[in-house]
Amino acid sequence: MMKHTILKRLACFVLVSVMLLPLLASCTEKLEENQIALAWHQGVITSGSHKTPNALMDGEELYSYSDVIHLEKAGTKLTFRDDNSDGMPDTERAGKDVYVISHWVEKNGEWVLESAGDHYTGSDNLDWRLESFGGDGVGYTYVSTYDNEYIRLCYRSGQTADNTRKFPFAKVYVTATDEPGTLTRIPAEQKAVELRRTVANAAATANSDFYDKGLEGLTVYCLGDSYFDDPAVGFNWADILAAKYGMTLKNYGVSGSTIANNTTIQSAGGMQPGATKGTNPMCLRIAAKMPQNGKPDIILFDGGRNDFSKEIPMGTTESMDESTFRGAINSCIAQLKERYPDALIIGITCWSVTRTRSIDGLTQREFGQAMIEQCAYNGIPCIDQIDEDFTDVHMDQAWFRERYCKSPTDISHLNAAGQIRYFPKMEKVVSEMYAAYLSSKS
């Protein structure tokens, strides 16, 4: 009996030992200098040009992707090599449809591809080369630009379900350096990435207690002036809205543009052809620039400030005269309704500013009020930005401009802090207007 028990225990010990051998072998494998221990998985991380874009496709054969790697300090250099020699499982390398190096963020306990981050494909088209060729293979080198970057690696390894157990994965090496980060070598790209990250952070933190699932995944068009097109700031509240809800945003704003098309402007001395004429008029841009077959869910239509300052005549409520402000608004709304019959069109007024023009004594607030009236006349909602109780935007106040405008004398343009501060108000009003629109259609 005792002999039988001993034999049984010995058999169990042998079985467990055999099962643990692969694990023990991997644990005791000696790492080379600067090599890091890293787990690889069968699958691919796709780029935006893949038929399934920007995704981690777990289990996809011929590719391998790594666990998330934490690069704690800026200037950390990471290198790895895709061996394409004849003796390897695969002699090809990753192309433009694969992110060889990608940035990740943790959300709700899961790692997700950072939408705002910098990612690099196997055949990169940037001004510098991520790859270095030598022998039968390609080496990849990346240097972190910031502290605490989280990345994954992916390459064409040749891994399949049949060969995984004995697979020779790429070795990864990490060293601390004083080298400039990969991203800093391309200033324009670095600026774009930092801008996207600012927007993404605002989307995640501004008004975090409010969320409307009904806004998820919508397509939004913007038609307007510098309220939507301000290169100096680089983003506006609509960009934050799109980032928060995964919207497709198409921005057709043009800085300095008028709604009306008027090449002969009034002045104190009479009519002056070409004097301070309207520029890039929106009433013409709809047909010229906006897609005929687009399918927007919402169209944000703003204007008025430039029509006021460029002395565009006010016009009358029922007019379709595009040389006047009211007539051009009517024309724009009619064109948008015809082109995009299923979209909610939302008008947006100019800011409340105490300005009176000498030509006819009209004020900027009157142009804002005219936008509200013309939207009502055409049966669409309008966001009243001349109502400071709603906006909490005070362009007449020096303290406000100092904090939230591009300069202390700027009465039109919110800076980055101003856009982030203003976003929650616009998020809620767009949410309310879209819900009312859907209700009216049901």
Strands 120-121 vs 264-267: parallel, antiparallel or unpaired: unpaired
pLDDT tens for each residue of 346-392:
999 999 999 999 999 999 999 999 999 999 999 999 999 999 999 99
Tokens of 290: 């906006």
Q: Report the relative pairing of strands 120-121 and 99-107 from DSSP bridges.
A: antiparallel
The pTM for the full model equals: 0.77
DSSP character at residue 385? T
Task: Please list the alpha-helical segments (H only) found in 92-247.
Answer: 187-205, 237-245
3 band by pLDDT with thresholds 50, 70 and 90:
very low
Q: If we measure between CA atoms, which residue out of 331, 433, 344, 434 comes closest to residue 377?
A: 331
Please report, for the chain, the start and end positions of each structural domain, with discontinuous segments joined by +. Answer: 32-185, 211-266+273-441
Q: Give the model confidence (pLDDT) of 94-149 as tens digits.
A: 889 999 999 999 988 999 999 888 999 987 554 445 655 555 778 899 999 999 99
The mean pLDDT value for 162-182 works out to: 87
pLDDT tens readout for residues 306-316: 999 999 999 99
pLDDT band at 13 (very low <50, low <70, confident <90, very high): very low
Contacting residues for 211 by C-beta, under 8 A, at least 6 apart? 244
Pick the CATH number of 211-266+273-441 from 3.30.360.10, 3.40.50.410, 3.40.50.1110, 3.50.50.60: 3.40.50.1110
| 344 residue type, one letter | L
Taking 80 as the threshold, does the pLDDT of residue 6 lie above it?
A: no
Alpha-carbon distance of 290 to 109, in angstroms, equals 41
Helix (H, G, I), strand (E, B) or coil at 37: coil
- 91 pLDDT tier (thresholds 50, 70, 90): confident
